[in-house]
Structure 1
Amino acid sequence: MPSVTYRRPGLVARDHVFRVPLCHDDPGAGEIEVFGREVVAPGKEDQRLPWLVYFQGGPGGKAERPVSTSAWLGRALQDHRVLLLDQRGTGRSTPANRQSLAGMSPAEQAEHLSHLRADSIVRDAEAIRAELVGDEPWTVLGQSFGGFCALTYLSLAPQGLRQVLITGGIPTLTGHADDVYRAAYPRTLRKNDAYFARYPHDAEIARRVVEHLAEHEVRMPTGERLTPERFQTLGIQLGQAGQFDALHYLLEEAFLGDTLSDTFLRGVDAVVSFAPRPLYAVLHESIYCQGTASRWSAHRVRAEFPEFDWTTAERVNFTGEMIYPWMFEQDPALVPLREAADLLAAKDDWPALYDLDQLARNEVPVAAAVYHDDMYVDRDHALESAERVRGARVWVTNEYEHDGVKASPAVLDRLLAMNRGDA
């Protein structure tokens, strides 16, 4: 049901809260709420505009909060009414975190969390479309994991789609999580190479930091311990525009004499804590699982890449978009979910997320931006999967990082033009 409408420069917004089944196949399992923010350009509030629903990256990422008209949103509002959807479990939707799940057993937690993947997100979207739009199909814009959701949408409910736009988010459709991480570790090493080529002195600082952490018990301002392996996870930033520099500016203030500075520790905590997005850690490997268990894939596969062992490698390399079981021992936001996470890692009966036959006969216009040097989504996997989607048009570019759609309106503009046949 809609709540208050409010205005800010460049947009008019209205909040919606929708009730959907936790399990769409079992209405008796209870209901949850899904929050959506409708956004339209000022002066167009009463116009009949086509709808565009935005699927945020993640998993476990809430929708963008429009403090201003960002690159893609400004372009979308020229000719669309936009729905910013907090995917189930995130943001203002019914939360799924250590606090909301505290009264459940680990098995109950795992069961609840198993209903937060792309297939459920898509079925939520279809229920919401029926309530907001009726029979009219809408456009989906999927960024990163949102692109994964878009391909699930094409598989499960293509009748709900006018067109699909994907940026940095075409997954392997058939590969195991191990395949994903065997491709991800070399890409992450290349980002490290590029980073240390730009800031060669930072290799010495990173080495000094990990050795200090190994010899001292260092606490961040929240009281959490900072360990060498947790410090390495700062590399999660390296695939986004401008974050090379952000990491450098953090490292250059690392030490105050022989002690790690409060400024540095506070900055590290802001990056490595999963308190704002626990589902990113809990569900990350499950987004690749179809009838298989991940069994902590990133952790197992890491052993094949000794370059990330700071104790023996010549250089301290930062890790990327990998989740490890020790995170559920070191991060207070994750500790209460450790047993549930183990159950999810062992789960081998995940349902299929993609229908290859449906994708092969697809009739929905699809345009996708594949970033040539994307650290998070493998280029070769993306291109191989795109070939399985009938009629999909792909733009491969090295002009942008993974978050290119947020950096320039030209990205969304080109995708829209591709689907019109103008590019």
Structure 2
Amino acid sequence: MNSGFRDTSEQDRPLARPSRRWPLLLAGGAVLVAVLAFTAWPRVKHLLSADSTVSVARLGIATVDVAPLTRDVAGEGRVVAAQSPTLFAQGAGTATLLVKAGDPVKQGQVLARVDSPELTNRLAQERSNVDALRADLARAEVEARQQAAALQSAYENARIDQQTAQNDLARQTQAFEAGATARMQVERAQDALAKARLALDQAAGLRGLKTDSLKLDVQAKQSALSRQQLLVADLERQVGELQVRSPVDGQVGQLFIADRTNLARDAKLLSVIDLSALEVQMQVAESFARELQPGMPGEITGNGQRWAGQVSSVSPEVVNGEVAARLRFAGAQPEQLRQNQRLSVRVLLDRRDKVLGVTRGSFVDESGGSYVYVVRGGVAEKVPVKLGARSLERVEVVSGLKAGDRVVISGADNFKGADRVLVAD
């Protein structure tokens, strides 16, 4: 039995020598943190300066680039007749229809007839007035010839009287010189000659004045007759137009009245559709309509086919913010097209190959095109811009942006007009 004293050998343990690397590691980590903080502080400060935060999932972002810009107007159109005249009644009366809706017709074919007793009776009365005026003219011409003959006779008598007086003066003068007569006889012969000359001058003047007066009377009768004949010709035209004829080859469109209907003058009767010349009519927004001009190229699609078109006319009237435009087929008119058939229409307004722009989005309407939000380093910044030409897909950037900028094209209403917004992933 060991009776010796227990020592502390079992309690004492050798201690490990402290490492000198920990202070170095700690110091290095502190320096690294300081460097990182110093380096990242501008970015952190940049992020902290944002007014609010919006998730990127709620935004639409596109990149500014240089690409072709094609400005066009597309929509749905319907086939209409280039000529679709509406026919009206030229007089009041009873209308008799000679065709039905859909009947093919030829130019000049009688489509309807209007029986107008009032117009027919008036034509007969005016024709009678023409006969009366023609008789008046003939009577005036006969009377003018008679008076002209009487005036000529009076003039000839006055001329003969002058010649007689002149001869008598010559005889009396010879007799006075021979001493066979008194001087008083010569003076009487001189007075008679003067009176004869005065009568001849009066007869000549009266003949000229009366002749002019008779001519004026005859001309007045002729003018009245011509005026009446013009009136009769116009009435004959109106009576002839009571037979309503087709102005074009085509098809009867719509009947506006029933057969044997009493109607007033200028009442609508029917319409005729000229199917030989069809056009496509489309509705265009007023903002694009200002740029549409006749002659612009277009494209018409339908029935699995595509045809070249050309703008033929643009209506000057705006209805519900839209303007009606018509396109005609550039080549031969396609067959088997129907009135009011729906077709797709596209009109090319402008095309440029290299244009700095961005995909069109709601930002164009929301900001009015005065500013956009550009995403840089996770922050959307409000940047003033100037936009140019706009198409359905792209918008031209005139100033304020450069190629490669990332622009918020939709969802910018979430920013509520803030100058800087943090875009979170």
Structure-1-length-normalised TM-score = 0.17
Structure number with greater Rg is 2
The answer to which structure, 1 or 2, has the higher relative contact order (CA under 8 A, 6+ apart) is 2
Structure-2-length-normalised TM-score = 0.17
